[in-house]
Amino acid sequence: MTRNGIDFTTYFKQYPDEKGYFGRYGGSYIPVELQAAMDEITEAYFTICKSRKFINELRRIRKEFQGRPTPISHLERLSGAIGNVQLYVKREDLNHTGAHKLNHCMGEVLLAKFMGKKKVIAETGAGQHGVALATAAAYFGLECDVYMGTVDIRKQAPNVARMKILGTNVVEVKEGLGTLKEAVDAAFEAYSREYKDCIYCIGSVVGPHPFPMMVRDFQHIVGVEARQQFVEMTGELPDVITACVGGGSNSAGFFSGFLNDPVDIVGVEPLGRGPKLGDHAASLTYGTEGVMHGFNSIMLKDEAGAPAPVYSIASGLDYPSSGPEHAFLRDMGRVRYETADDEETVRAFFALSRYEGIIPAIESSHAVAYAIRLAKQRKMGSILINLSGRGDKDMDYVLEHYGIPGKDAKLV
Ligand SMILES: *Cc1c(COP(=O)(O)O)cnc(C)c1O
């Protein structure tokens, strides 16, 4: 399939280019000494991604440790309550640790081990990336330092406990507001000191090359499985596929299985409380081009051009930019980006729980909300949603702020 001069049969051979660009987006904007460390990672990655031993090892881990392939479920009751469009979900909530993040963390730590590194480091906000990385580090027997702001440590006690139980060193960052931004700075600083012995594991398809490509490749399995399973189940491709977009890793992997197919692809961004700057984190919808955190993409900026404060009910989507490949696929017209606000998302959270017995992550609920909206507008067809994670972590917050809907509350 060709769109805007891009041939999607050869897309993966062409993008990103050797400097890590997807068209004008991507690249690597970091200090020179760290560039040497990135080049080392890129070279190691290109060596192992062609190595049978590495690929077989990752395949074995996916099956025996992560529990892959994760199934697709047909949402029969929910679809019936809306109309004739059939909804399906790819169940990344059933991946070990309850979300898609382990897919790339296992790849990253396997790479670190191949490179002879002793340690992996990362920052975490809500703790989801920290827990996935801690899990992978325990599996491979590497040390793990996770930088986390004081305020986040207090707010995310269960994830801090998980990381500690898994043997990870949670490093408290007391500077500034004690949240994700300060944790990023502290982790980056530590990496500048320790890059000879460790690698920095980025938690999404963001940051300097090779991370947007590498994390997408490690998530590619989600799209490959989903395509094959859907065709086996129904005899055809879905009409529409959709996933939530924060940094963009679960969506990038899921979409990558369908780029060359006659399938509509829709990424869903968090509209939060509304379209005013500061009330949402819908960077591809409202942002402009710029460089932050080591890469060029579309981002939300304040008046000074710095990353703007962002908000979403879903802490996993609360990021002022998205990966460069998303910006590129948007410009090429291959992927469309829509939004869902907090309220619609919470309704979808309860709809999936009540109609199907699946409590979704509040991040994933954004994609469910969009799919429900689209299903109401159409007379027929099928929509496949990537359910990036399970919602146990969100239950307390949702109940405290929204309460339990009544027996006859209108959820769809
Ligand atoms: C972290 C997270 C996300 C957002 O990250 P992406 O890189 O955009 O996929 C989405 N869903 C869940 C369950 C998460 O934990």
Question: For residue range 30-46, what is the model confidence (pLDDT) as tens digits?
Answer: 999 899 999 999 999 99
In a domain, 340, yes or no: yes
Largest CA distance in the chain: 61
Angle (CA) 195-66-124 rounded to 5° is: 40
| Pairing verdict, β 382-387 and 240-244 | parallel
Structure tokens that stand for 134 in this block: 């801690």
In a domain, 245, yes or no: yes
5 band by pLDDT with thresholds 50, 70 and 90 = confident
Closest residue by CA, ligand 1 atom 2: 316
185 band by pLDDT with thresholds 50, 70 and 90 = confident
pLDDT of residue 3: 83
In a domain, 163, yes or no: yes
Domain end among 174, 192, 211: 211
**Residues 301 and 198 occupy one common structural domain:** no
Question: What integer is the mean pLDDT of 161-168?
Answer: 98
CA of 212 to the centre of ligand 1 (A): 14
Q: Is 101 a catalytic residue?
A: yes
* Ligand 1 atom with minimal separation from the 249 CA: 7
**Residues 273 and 389 occupy one common structural domain:** yes
Of the residues 388, 395, 397, which should be mutated to test ligand 1's pocket, given the most ligand atoms within 8 Å of the CB? 388
Question: What integer is the mean pLDDT of 177-201?
Answer: 91
Give residue 201's domain range. 23-63+101-211
Task: Give the three-state DSSP class for 68.
Answer: coil
Does residue 89 have a pLDDT over 90? yes
The least confident of 65-69, 112-116, 175-179, 286-290 is 175-179
pLDDT digits over 350-380, tens only?
999 999 999 999 999 999 999 999 999 999 9
Q: Is 118 a catalytic residue?
A: no
**Residues 204 and 232 occupy one common structural domain:** no
C-beta separation of 130 from 152 below 8 A: no
**Residues 90 and 115 occupy one common structural domain:** no
C-beta separation of 222 from 257 below 8 A: yes
Domain end among 189, 211, 233: 211
In a domain, 14, yes or no: no
Q: Is 388 a catalytic residue?
A: yes
Identify the active-site residue in 123, 182, 225, 325. 123
Question: What integer is the mean pLDDT of 206-225?
Answer: 98
The answer, as to whether pTM is greater than 0.85, is yes
CA of 356 to the centre of ligand 1 (A): 22
**Residues 396 and 325 occupy one common structural domain:** yes
In a domain, 6, yes or no: no
- Average pLDDT over all residues of the chain: 96
Number of domains the chain contains: 2
pLDDT of residue 67: 98
Closest residue by CA, ligand 1 atom 13: 389
Instruction: Tell me the CATH number at 251.
Output: 3.40.50.1100
Identify the active-site residue in 90, 101, 113, 117. 101
In a domain, 143, yes or no: yes
